[in-house]
Amino acid sequence: MNNKISDYEIQREPKTCSNIYEILAHPAIFNPLMNCIYPEINPKTINNIVPDKSSKIHHIFLHIEKIVKYFQKKENVEKFAKEVEIFYLTHKNALEKA
């Protein structure tokens, strides 16, 4: 799936996170995670539903059990790692400038 997020959005993210929810809400993690957990939903749709960091954190908080359950299978961890790699390669320049 294509991760639709702008380089500008990546570059404006803070360089540090204060808790696990902030880490999971970062676009480099959140978008691949949503691609894995909700493969039937277009990433652009998810970004429209949860457009900012606070709504992403709230979404993660509400669905943390589903997220934890997803990572209990080794193949899901591997799939997520591949999605993160795809996201990184797609947005490498922006992530390095951030």
In tens digits, what is the pLDDT along the chain, a chain of 98 residues?
445 666 666 666 666 667 888 889 988 899 999 999 999 998 889 989 999 999 999 999 999 999 999 999 999 999 999 999 998 888 888 777 76
pLDDT the model gives residue 1? 45
Look at residue 88 in the predicted model and tell me its pLDDT. 87
Q: Which of 38, 85, 92, 82 is nearest to 46 (CA)?
A: 38
User: Has residue 65 been placed in a domain?
Assistant: yes
The answer to whether residue 2 is domain-embedded is no
Residue 88 lies in a domain: yes
For residue 70, what pLDDT is reported? 95
Report whether 71 contacts 80 (CB < 8 A).
yes
**Distance in angstroms (rounded) separating the CA atoms of residues 87 and 84:** 5
Domain of 22? 7-97
Distance CA 59, CA 47 (A): 11
What integer pLDDT is reported at residue 96 of this predicted model?
75
